[in-house]
Structure 1
């Protein structure tokens, strides 16, 4: 058997420390110690599992941020290309409208001159 000592405070104006001895069977202390060790081990395992999950989540976040940066860069390039294509398209339309206007003008002059010669 093992002796377990604990401090007991007295009541009243003056506080005095009294020591009482309590006899606790050694097997009971071993059981409590084993239970505490088991609980500590489980707690450390949970902590390690949470650490691995945190590391995994951190890595996924890093990958997602890199992917976001690449997508933003690609989107910027596509937007710039779209602007260039729109400008080329607009220039082509303006050119075709000028050609059409000149053709209509020539037709109108040809029609007018053929009407005058009659």
Structure 2
């Protein structure tokens, strides 16, 4: 087995300053990340509020649609009843006219 050789790395005289600037840079980055996180949380809260409002509007629209469909159904029933009554009256008048035309006029 070969003997181990150790190679030393020379540190500049300002080596301690470098570590401090790295720590300060990390602290600044952490603060930036905290601020960005808070900003994103506010955006998420605003989007959730907007989503809730949209959900309420959709529910209101759906309820309105259901009421309109019910009213339309009632109107259709009424229209069918009126059409049947009208058709019955026309047939009745046609029978009366036919009977009147078969009777000889006496003058």
TM bucket, shorter chain: 0.7 to 0.9
**Structure with bigger RCO (C-alpha 8 Å, 6+ apart):** 1
Matched, 1:67 2:64: yes
Cα distance between partner residues in 1 of 2:60 and 2:105: 69
Could you tell me which residue of structure 2 aligns to residue 58 of structure 1?
55
TM-score (norm 1): 0.68
Give the root-mean-square deviation of aligned CA atoms: 1.8
Q: Which runs of 4+ in 1 moved over 4 A?
A: none
Matched, 1:31 2:28: yes
Q: Deviations over 1:26-63 (max 9, x none)?
A: 43233112201111111101111110111011111101
Cα distance between partner residues in 1 of 2:81 and 2:71: 15
Could you tell me which residue of structure 1 aligns to residue 45 of structure 2?
48
Gap runs ≥5 in structure 2: 1-17
1:89 to 86, 89, 93: 86
Gap runs ≥5 in structure 1: 1-21
Higher share of residues assigned strand: 1
Higher share of residues assigned helix: 2
